[in-house]
């Protein structure tokens, strides 16, 4: 009987979908959509999208143009793949395209759209954005927490020094640097302890499990989930993504409940003497504020602590993209290039955040890396709130909008020799990554751009500068740089195979002793 009911329901849903599609097709006839490939029934153009969607979409855009129309299942999609289209969507019509699609990732992984990534446009999101800018990630707070970033970089350098001369999985060291900085800044202390294999009494079995949780979070927030695009198939969960999202949500909820309970207990214990020490404390104080336009519930606090804070520094994992290039960059970071790169990086000390302004070639390396390997190559999808038009084409309300910043970074109309890694192109250039130059948008632009850009850049510059200053790097014997370019797709795009490299210390031994 249960099987019969399932068959009847599936059949009914199928016919309802067909009727809906016929109605929508009739409705869409009044629109002149941008050019694009003809969609198949049910699947639309999903058959044209490979395991690396930004590659597939770039190839299609080369055929159909910088403004292209696609259909993912029953979901209409437009793609912008040029500087002009990025400016149109993210600046000129930012408010028209400021919303987010309602996806399973937002529903299950971020407490029903309670974070700043997937939250729909409205009072809750506007309030959250203001709180991040004014309370949580303002410049004064970032400066006050500089000692955390410096101490954790020193710990990473000590760990690398301890394994000097051997093949090092650099990603693991950068990962722990990220996790420890974020944990101390956001949660108040380290919750993952490598040498003891414990996590402060939490029910997480190992640091590897926590690392898996974070990686799974970024993967599942970026996948093309069939249920989001063909709703009548959603209940089947054919890819298994929703099942994984629910499992991950339970694991993160267990962790975050423990964190909130610890902070709440300290607030009650200290009473009137309580002083907020980290972002969780600040969020809990805000949640008790009766004057907020939209109350922040407990799930809202936890939602803000899921994808949000990890997203803000995750991008710097890509700065190690070619050891050969990094090594060459380090060699030219000096007077013979006409830059003041070597001045502040004296051998008797490590690089500080105050030195970065005097390292123009280092900044150029980071920009060039972000041009060729943006962390979120299609940015996070936006949703059209109203009917809009461009160049005689219509973009109906309810359309997903993707900006292929990966393709823009490889556009020969914008960049000379775009497939060559040439940091020199940014030396003396005014082009920056802060959302105002639409040829380079690793953090997005407009009201929805990443609010943690300041923290992210500080982490990138400080970590990379000290890795270059403290060690001479080479690839393991038998490995060539061309083997390092493989990617896997998610909300961010890390390597398919983690980078391994060999580090040889260059500084006096006492500089590797830790904080």
CB 301 within 8 A of CB 283: yes
CB 5 within 8 A of CB 34: no
Residue 114 assigned ligand-binding role: no
Q: Which of 10, 40, 90, 85 is nearest to 407 (CA)?
A: 85
With residue 58 as reference, give the H or E element that holds it: helix 53-64
Alpha carbon 338 to chain centroid distance? 34
Residue 3's Cβ-side half-sphere holds a number of Cα atoms within 13 Å equal to 0
- Specify the pairing of strand 471-474 against strand 500-505: antiparallel
Alpha helices by DSSP H, listed for 347-493, are: 360-372, 405-408, 453-470
Q: Residue 334: is it exposed, middle or buried by C-beta count within 10 angstroms (0-12/13-18/19+)?
A: middle
CB 441 within 8 A of CB 90: yes
Alpha carbon 383 to chain centroid distance? 18
CA distance 303 to 121: 16
DSSP 394: E
CA distance 448 to 444: 7
Task: With H, G, I as helix, E, B as strand and everything else as coil, classify residue 112.
Answer: coil
Residue entry with tokens 């309802």: 16
CA distance 64 to 34: 9
Residue 216's Cβ-side half-sphere holds a number of Cα atoms within 13 Å equal to 21
Please state the residue numbers annotated as binding site for heme. 450
Please state the residue numbers annotated as binding site. 450
């Amino acid at each position: 009987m249960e099987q019969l009911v399932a068959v009847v329901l599936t059949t009914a849903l199928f016919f309802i979908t067909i009727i809906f599609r016929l109605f929508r097709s009739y409705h869409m006839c009044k629109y002149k959509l941008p050019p694009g490939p003809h969609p198949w029934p049910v699947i639309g153009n999903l058959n044209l999208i490979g395991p690396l969607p930004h590659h597939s979409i770039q190839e299609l855009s080369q055929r159909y143009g910088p403004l292209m129309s696609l259909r993912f299942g029953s979901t209409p999609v437009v793609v912008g793949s040029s500087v002009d289209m990025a400016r149109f969507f993210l600046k000129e019509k930012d408010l028209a395209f400021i919303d987010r699609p309602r996806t399973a990732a937002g529903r299950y992984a971020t407490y029903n759209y309670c974070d700043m990534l997937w939250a729909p446009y409205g009072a809750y999101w506007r309030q959250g954005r203001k709180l991040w800018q004014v309370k949580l990630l303002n410049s004064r707070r970032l400066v006050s927490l500089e000692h955390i970033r410096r101490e954790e970089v020193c710990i990473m350098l000590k760990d690398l020094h301890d394994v000097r001369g051997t093949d090092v999985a650099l990603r693991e060291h950068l990962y722990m640097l990220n996790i420890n900085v974020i944990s101390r800044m956001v949660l108040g202390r380290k919750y993952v302890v490598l040498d003891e294999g414990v996590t402060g009494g939490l029910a997480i079995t190992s640091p590897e499990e926590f690392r898996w949780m974070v990686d799974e979070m970024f993967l599942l927030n970026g996948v093309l989930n069939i249920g989001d695009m063909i709703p009548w198939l959603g209940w089947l969960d054919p890819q298994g993504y929703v099942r994984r999202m629910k499992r991950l949500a339970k694991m993160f909820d267990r962790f975050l409940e423990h964190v909130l309970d610890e902070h709440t207990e300290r607030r009650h214990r200290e009473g009137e003497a309580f002083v907020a020490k980290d972002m969780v404390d600040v969020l809990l104080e805000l949640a008790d504020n009766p004057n907020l336009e939209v109350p922040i519930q407990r799930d809202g606090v936890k939602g803000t602590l899921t994808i949000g804070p990890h997203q803000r520094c995750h991008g710097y994992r890509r700065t190690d993209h070619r050891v050969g290039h990094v090594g060459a960059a380090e060699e030219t970071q000096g007077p013979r290039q006409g830059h003041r790169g070597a001045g502040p990086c004296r051998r008797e000390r490590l690089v500080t955040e105050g030195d970065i302004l005097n390292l123009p070639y280092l900044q150029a390396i980071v920009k060039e890396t972000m041009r060729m390997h943006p962390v979120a190559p299609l940015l996070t999808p936006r949703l059209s709130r109203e009917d809009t038009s461009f160049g005689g084409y219509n973009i109906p309300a309810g359309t997903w909008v993707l900006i292929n910043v990966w393709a823009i970074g490889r556009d020969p109309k914008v960049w000379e020799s775009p497939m060559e890694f040439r940091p020199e192109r940014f030396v003396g250039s005014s082009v920056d990554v802060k959302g105002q130059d639409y040829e380079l948008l690793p953090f997005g632009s407009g009201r929805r751009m990443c609010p943690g850009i300041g923290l992210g850049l500080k982490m990138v510059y400080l970590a990379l500068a000290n890795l270059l200053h403290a060690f001479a790097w080479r690839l393991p014997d038998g490995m060539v740089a061309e083997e390092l370019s493989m990617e896997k797709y998610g909300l961010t795009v890390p390597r398919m195979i983690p980078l391994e490299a060999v580090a040889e210390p260059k500084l006096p031994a006492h500089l590797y002793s830790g904080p």
